[in-house]
Structure 1
């Protein structure tokens, strides 16, 4: 006979083990963010050690080592926040898995930074602060350190609260705050700052209006026609050609400007040739891909998936080429100042500095990028491949138009503005259809009001959070930078 007491003991032990396993699982889940923090800290330490090994004999090597750590920290935050603008729509439209998006973004961001990131970058003031005002003593080095630290801290905070912000604007605010702390308000070019402030409004509006216009066109010419597949065979290759032309021009102007030096007209010509070739190649491919598809909206999504993935990869390449300077530009300026004993408005970026920026963006993306990718792709409004394609096309075309007009715009604001534009256009369209139905079949006012409320297709809480973060970015980074500058001055004996 079995002992009932023994059976009871085993039962109790099993329950305890079950409880322990649940506690263990909860502990692992809670500790997961700490793993990312630990890896990030290790990356920052390695960047500082590399700087020490390569510049240890340079006068003022201490400043270079500290700046390398701050540059690595900034690069991590760019990867965590900014890359979501490129990959979010593709993930939200289910054209890419999260793992696939991270892999593609990491490869193309690094390639853009290393191949086309630029040998020479305007690092000091971006036209915001007069370089002569920072020329005395160590004030220039401390100002660059303060700008890097404040920008990284602000972008880190924005990522934590789930707000995609412009890292360029964060660096602008950091430089402005350090310049004011070092030389007073007269050191700032307020005309340039006014143009940057105007871009807070111009960027998202341009991106949103163009994305909404493209979605309206797709609905008019492809979605709401009797033979959707026949319409798609005509217009999808055209849209692919337009996308290729836009990205050809965009990459020449923004991503490859340090390799190929051409004017705006030349960039447009190159883009037009690329677009024509893409259109000619897409005609037979779309015809073959559409063969056997049913005449329904679900079939149309298939035809937009591959172009959407390609556009996300190209956006990542251009972003890596264009925004790596936000992380390593001030670091390169500090390296130059310590090695040459002078400062310059333009400096050559050493290879090891560019590597820190490129790898930092990729590491930050892998560790912390999914949160913002989900925000942009899933939590603002519902995206499908057609809507996401309109957002990607809007990002490229709007940057080109703004460059032609000489407007300072943010690619972050344009992309997120495109997502908002698509969502608000869908709201307007649904509201219009609801009114038409109500006119045909009148309903009590309270029921009609409830139906309109249910058809809100953009989450207002995210909209308000993101807009507030955009408005606050420059002043918040400036205040943090000024405080950092005073702190460095006190600690380092200025």
Structure 2
């Protein structure tokens, strides 16, 4: 048989096989961008149908395409913060997380998304400075393009950034290019800059505090299951109350306006009801469980999945305006020929934002979900539970204090807070040290644990490279979006005249 062996033919066949595999792999990589491109083109077509025979048809169509592109990028980047910890802790699979978040995001945007948005993005720019319709549409278009491009770049490098900050930077840059530095409300910008520090710190401190409570009250107890029966319902009740308050303040603004005292009462009632319901549930779930940490994680999985869905709903209700706010402003100006301080969002424009965020999550979300859930620090259901609880509580505290905060910064800050707290607690906790010594049969030690420098470095539980990348991306989001927007405005304004 060997006499029929043709080495040249085998090489050619191998080359064809490799080319086939490479082509198949490339084809798979192009599926998601292809679907995304189809989506933005359909959005442009829909806009054309709604503005057929109108003088501003082409402007609205282009704006719809850009708004859809922005929504895709928000879904790819921002939504990871809601479901990343749950996926990283293995409370649910990537596919389950994508489906739950996509449905919850769309529901939040369409059912509770704000139907009126401020076109000057929370008072960043003086409306009188951009009163000319052509100038205004060019500024909004530049802001939309610049923020979308920046979020796309951040997603590519693996950095979760604030889409709110990106759009604010875009509006500021276009406003400066259109009317100079005097047009900017620098007091408002100062508050936004302060949120760069406030949001992650608050999120990290609150998450670390609850992780400390879980460790002290449940994890490092001789009878973990008995401690879990007592305290896990309390933690779930706190989370339920926090999310009820959060949704009352931020998630249902379109349906009903609720002030802080009423929201807190709703949260308190929800917490009490949750405590009454979850006590027997946790007691039933804990029967037969072994007295070890792995058993405790099972008790946190269901509330963690629910929290991911609620975070996604609230995110859809609040952040859809980042994608469609400037688009709604352009649609209004093109249709009515005037610049309004506030405009209503048409249903088709809201649908562009809602479905765009969901498509972006499904097509491009796994990269950032893995980053937030797995690559910053190791999460389990208890740690991820603390992250989700921190996200809700931080928004409530910030709202009560009147502080502007970023949900992205809060969630990622909470992940960092959990990781850095674990580093400190592992190295310094006498309670943990004595527990581990007793478990290994060595008896408790009355002194604090001693570690050499090499061991402490080896046991770092937060990846410093990701920390540096993410913080750097946060700091430059506003200035980068602003500079890009200013340049785009100077290119666009002649075309709008």
Normalising TM by the smaller chain, what interval?
over 0.9
Q: Could you say which residue in structure 1 is the equivalent of 2:440?
A: none
Q: Tell me how far 1:41 sits from its aligned partner.
A: 1.3
Please, which runs of 5 or more residues in structure 1 have no aligned partner?
none
Given that 1:133 and 1:183 are in contact with CA atoms closer than 8 Å, whether structure 2 keeps it comes out as: yes
Given that 1:254 and 1:322 are in contact with CA atoms closer than 8 Å, whether structure 2 keeps it comes out as: yes
2:45 matched to 1:49? yes
The list of structure 1 runs, each at least 4 consecutive aligned residues, that deviate by more than 4 angstroms after superposition, is 11-16, 433-442
Q: Could you say which residue in structure 2 is the equivalent of 1:111?
A: 107
For the residue of structure 2 that corresponds to 1:138, the secondary structure is: helix
Of 464, 481, 484, which aligns to 2:485?
Answer: 481
Of 452, 458, 462, which aligns to 2:456?
Answer: 452
Please provide the CA RMSD for this pair.
2.0
Superposition map of 1:188-337 within 5 A: 188-337=184-333
Measure, in 2, the Cα distance between the counterparts of 1:137 and 1:257: 29
Q: Could you say which residue in structure 1 is the equivalent of 2:414?
A: 418
Superposition map of 1:21-170 within 5 A: 21-170=17-166
Measure, in 2, the Cα distance between the counterparts of 1:247 and 1:457: 29
Q: Deviations 1:428-464 (Å, cap 9, x if unpaired)? A: 011215997999799xx9x822111111000000000
Given that 1:123 and 1:325 are in contact with CA atoms closer than 8 Å, whether structure 2 keeps it comes out as: no
Measure, in 1, the Cα distance between the counterparts of 2:213 and 2:322: 36
Given that 2:137 and 2:496 are in contact with CA atoms closer than 8 Å, whether structure 1 keeps it comes out as: no
Measure, in 1, the Cα distance between the counterparts of 2:228 and 2:133: 64
Q: Tell me how far 1:389 sits from its aligned partner.
A: 0.1
2:459 matched to 1:461? no
Please, which runs of 5 or more residues in structure 2 have no aligned partner?
438-443
Q: Could you say which residue in structure 1 is the equivalent of 2:174?
A: 178
For the residue of structure 2 that corresponds to 1:225, the secondary structure is: coil
Q: Could you say which residue in structure 2 is the equivalent of 1:5?
A: 3
Measure, in 1, the Cα distance between the counterparts of 2:177 and 2:367: 34
Given that 2:176 and 2:183 are in contact with CA atoms closer than 8 Å, whether structure 1 keeps it comes out as: yes
Change in CA separation of 1:185 and 1:21 when aligned onto 2, cut-off 3 Å: same
Change in CA separation of 1:159 and 1:230 when aligned onto 2, cut-off 3 Å: same
Given that 1:90 and 1:312 are in contact with CA atoms closer than 8 Å, whether structure 2 keeps it comes out as: yes
Measure, in 2, the Cα distance between the counterparts of 1:259 and 1:436: 52
Measure, in 2, the Cα distance between the counterparts of 1:30 and 1:192: 46
Given that 2:109 and 2:318 are in contact with CA atoms closer than 8 Å, whether structure 1 keeps it comes out as: yes
Q: Deviations 1:293-340 (Å, cap 9, x if unpaired)? A: 001100000000010000000000000010000000111111111212
Q: Tell me how far 1:345 sits from its aligned partner.
A: 1.4
Number of equivalenced pairs? 486
Measure, in 2, the Cα distance between the counterparts of 1:19 and 1:217: 60
Q: Tell me how far 1:344 sits from its aligned partner.
A: 1.3
Q: Could you say which residue in structure 2 is the equivalent of 1:389?
A: 385
Given that 2:236 and 2:303 are in contact with CA atoms closer than 8 Å, whether structure 1 keeps it comes out as: yes
Measure, in 2, the Cα distance between the counterparts of 1:22 and 1:291: 55
If the length of structure 2 is used for normalisation, what is the TM-score?
A: 0.94
2:356 matched to 1:360? yes
Given that 2:133 and 2:337 are in contact with CA atoms closer than 8 Å, whether structure 1 keeps it comes out as: no
Q: Could you say which residue in structure 2 is the equivalent of 1:472?
A: 476
Change in CA separation of 1:208 and 1:136 when aligned onto 2, cut-off 3 Å: same
